[in-house]
Structure 1
Amino acid sequence: MATGHHRFERWPNESYFSLEARNFIDVLRRHVAIPNAVWEPHAGAGHLARELIESGLRVLATDLHEYDPVQGAPYIGVGYNFLDQTSLPHGVRAIVMNPPFDKAEEHCERAISLLAQAEGGVVACLNRSEWGTGKRRAALVHDHPAFDLKIEIVKRPIWREKTGDPRIDQSPRHYFAWFVWRLERGLNDPKRIAWG
């Protein structure tokens, strides 16, 4: 039973940066073979893109908004609305992203649609663990022929640096998971779940 409820405003531009990107990418790479050319279309300050590069992958990083990049982040192309993209950048065979929560379905659908243009495409979307359980998402997750794997991340991630203000520095409330689509997945391949 929930005994209390605090309502907090969402941060501008859904700027929940992947501060724990090294852990996120380590967990993903442990379970998924990511093709070498990756697009990170919601790069923010470059946390995920930097760790993808550190793991040995070539990365194209873009975002709709401009942020101060973290140290070691690649160049981030600004002004790219992912939902407006109709063609896959040359050579890209994977999309790895932490999309805006309020439009995650549309972003996953667009990523899957774009990667249908590539051979052996993989989409990995970081989202709340319970995200895939809604009826609205059955066609995208449970029933989608390309949906391959859910990787539960067993530690709740922190999205903002600590400020010292206890009203702002709340404990993380949600568990997250990677949702992975493999475009050349065999129809008889079992859907999987893993933990990391």
Structure 2
Amino acid sequence: MTGFLPFGARAIMASRQEPPDSLNFFPTPPWATRAFVEHVALPVLGVRRHETVWEPACGEGHMAEPLAETFRFVAASDIHPYGYGKVADFLGPTDDVWPHWVFTNPPFPTGVDFARRAILVAERGAALLVRTQWLHTDERYELFTEHPPFLIAYYTERVPMHRGRWEPEGSTATDYCWVCWVHGAEPRPPMWIPPGQRQRLTRPDDARRFGRPAPAPLFGEGG
């Protein structure tokens, strides 16, 4: 599999291109991915640090980069050229790609399709970050009947996501959770990611690495 990113290898702010609104680009706050890794991926899913992880809706790298802080091999791709990772349609024809894990925050309208593809291509398992309302409807019922989740992990605190950007001081009324599948494992009861992760796992350089740059002033402005 190609496209693995050593930690810190890509500049998230480089080559930024705006996606069509239909792509539902809502970047994941870096602290939320770190909380998933610490409380779910490592201790519960049993992900090993040397295993391959694929983030197929990477956007500008807001999830892939925090994953690469822990996992040695992280591949990132997206259907739109955001300037980060490989340009590829996760739901289209793909080469023989068999990562150990697929972790992603999929576009809401195609979340079920992302889940089915992730379960198919991942050797050990997959996890999708979704709104809790995503768990409902007949389509999800059919998915969960065919592929019962190993675990649903709810965030105790809110995870602010904003269209097209990450807001370090943002807020939201929307709840999120991780729906996780582990091949060959019996389903277990849901769990809750404990509170306080936003404050504890936000790093001093996150705003520089992941936030939008301030607009440059025009020449001749100011004193």
- TM-score normalised over the length of structure 1: 0.74
Other-structure match for 2:188: 191
Other-structure match for 1:14: 24
Aligned residue identity for 1:138? Y
Indicate conservation of the 8 Å contact 2:53/2:71, yes or no: no
How many angstroms apart in 2 are the aligned matches of 1:125 and 1:146? 14
How many angstroms apart in 2 are the aligned matches of 1:181 and 1:163? 30
Aligned residue identity for 2:189? R
- Change in 2 beyond 3 A, CA 1:184/1:150: same
Q: CA deviation at 1:12?
A: 5.0
Structure 1 segment 4-153 matched on structure 2, within 5 A: 11=21, 13-18=23-28, 20-31=29-40, 32-35=45-48, 36-69=51-84, 76-78=85-87, 80-89=88-97, 92-115=99-122, 118=123, 121-141=124-144, 143-153=145-155
Ranges in structure 1 where 5+ consecutive residues have no aligned partner = 1-9, 70-75
How many angstroms apart in 2 are the aligned matches of 1:15 and 1:38? 21
Other-structure match for 1:6: none
CA distances 1:127-169 after superposition (whole Å, capped 9, x unpaired):
001211323211322x2445200000122222234599xxxx7
Ranges in structure 2 where 5+ consecutive residues have no aligned partner = 1-19, 194-223
Q: CA deviation at 1:105?
A: 0.6
- RMSD over aligned CA atoms reads 2.5
How many angstroms apart in 1 are the aligned matches of 2:167 and 2:30? 16
Other-structure match for 2:208: none
How many angstroms apart in 2 are the aligned matches of 1:173 and 1:17? 16
Aligned residue identity for 1:96? F
CA distances 1:20-58 after superposition (whole Å, capped 9, x unpaired):
233333234422222510010011000111011102331
Other-structure match for 1:73: none
Other-structure match for 1:175: 175
User: Any idea what SS the aligned residue of 2:143 has?
Assistant: coil
- Structure 1 stretches of 4+ with a deviation exceeding 3 A read 85-88, 160-164
Number of residue pairs matched by the alignment: 165
CA distances 1:62-98 after superposition (whole Å, capped 9, x unpaired):
11112245xxxxxx012x01101445425x1100000
Aligned residue identity for 1:46? G
Percent identity among equivalent residues?
Answer: 24
More strand by share: 1
Aligned residue identity for 1:84? G
Larger radius of gyration: 2
- Change in 2 beyond 3 A, CA 1:53/1:104: same
